[in-house]
């Protein structure tokens, strides 16, 4: 049976408020408009989305950070939700790449019918799929996945976001092996910018995925959080201790 949870930014627009959700004991999701208003022009007050799904053995985590309106992030998320059962029939690296491919097609179709600034709506996206000890991460834009074990390891590259003429995913997902003691953190730049970077992910913040998402967003609040914050945290599974990248750094 597939369990799915999604936090939509359009439902969470009050400053300083944190919304959380959990999938079992392994996955936590959190979202907030931020502690303060955005310090740059925006269309919608909260354009982030956080999504997670699990069938008990395979987990999918995704965050999206829209701009020039929530339209692109909404369309991309809905496309993944519509295909989520199919994604769970694929290998992790295939599923991560396919999620962004369908998201890009949905963004292209959605913005083509818009006018004004919303026609320039775009979104970052970061999708992580874990099956057993096997992890694959695919991303577009600056939303980031970090594997936290003995050290913190960033598993994403900064690339153009979806929108503005870029709707295809052409990169190879980054793969890694997850150890039982690891935590996976997938978040939008509203976390990383105000937390102070991935190296600030202290283990005590991540003891429990249910508590970790609130603690991380509160840490971003303490850093000034003048942006939307979306984050998902997953507890690791059994496997090798080392991490290997498929792509060159």
Q: Which residues of the chain have pLDDT under 70?
A: 203-204, 237-249
Tell me the CATH number at 47.
3.60.40.10
For the chain, percent of residues with pLDDT exceeding 90? 79
pLDDT at 196: 79
Asked if residue 138 is part of any domain, the answer here is yes
Tell me the two tokens of residue 226. Answer: 């003048």
Contact status, residue 125 vs residue 140, Cβ threshold 8 Å: yes
Tell me the two tokens of residue 126. Answer: 């970061």
pLDDT at 32: 98
pLDDT at 240: 34
The CA-based angle 197-199-201, given to 5 degrees, is 90
pLDDT at 203: 66
pLDDT at 238: 38
Asked if residue 240 is part of any domain, the answer here is no
Torsions phi, psi of 136, nearest 5? -135, 140
Compute and round to an integer the Cα radius of gyration of the chain.
Answer: 16
Q: Is 228 helix (H, G, I), strand (E, B) or coil?
A: coil
Please tell me the total count of domains within the chain. 1
Which residue range forms the structural domain that includes residue 134? 3-235
Asked if residue 247 is part of any domain, the answer here is no
Asked if residue 41 is part of any domain, the answer here is yes
Our measurement of the distance from residue 27's CA atom to the centroid of its chain's CA atoms, rounded to an integer in Å, reads 13
Please give the Cα distance from 231 to 13 (Å, whole number): 16
pLDDT at 245: 38
Asked if residue 241 is part of any domain, the answer here is no
Asked if residue 193 is part of any domain, the answer here is yes
Asked if residue 71 is part of any domain, the answer here is yes
The pTM score is 0.93
Please give the Cα distance from 72 to 62 (Å, whole number): 15
Asked if residue 249 is part of any domain, the answer here is no
Tell me the two tokens of residue 202. Answer: 């202290």
């Amino acid at each position: 049976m597939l369990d799915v949870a999604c936090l939509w930014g359009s439902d969470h627009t009050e400053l300083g408020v944190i919304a959380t959700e959990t999938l079992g004991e392994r996955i936590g999701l959190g979202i907030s408009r931020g502690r303060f208003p955005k310090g740059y022009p925006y269309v919608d007050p909260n354009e982030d989305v956080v999504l997670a799904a699990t069938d008990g053995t395979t987990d999918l985590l995704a965050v999206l950070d829209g701009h020039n309106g929530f339209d692109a992030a909404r369309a991309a998320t809905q496309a993944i939700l519509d295909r989520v059962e199919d994604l769970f029939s694929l290998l992790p690296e295939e599923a991560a790449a396919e999620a962004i491919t369908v998201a890009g097609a949905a963004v292209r179709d959605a913005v083509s019918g818009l006018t004004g600034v919303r026609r320039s709506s775009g979104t970052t996206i970061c999708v992580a799929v874990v099956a057993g000890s096997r992890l694959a991460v695919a991303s577009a834009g600056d939303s980031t996945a970090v594997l936290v074990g003995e050290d913190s390891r960033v598993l994403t590259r900064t690339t153009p976001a979806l929108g503005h003429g870029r709707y295809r995913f052409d990169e190879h997902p980054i793969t890694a092996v997850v150890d039982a003691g690891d935590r996976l953190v997938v978040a939008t730049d509203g976390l990383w910018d105000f937390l102070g970077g991935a190296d600030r992910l202290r283990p005590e913040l991540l003891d429990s995925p249910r508590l970790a998402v609130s603690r991380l967003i509160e840490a971003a609040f303490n850093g000034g959080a003048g942006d939307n914050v979306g984050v998902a945290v997953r507890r690791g599974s059994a496997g090798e201790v080392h991490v290997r990248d498929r792509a060159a750094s």
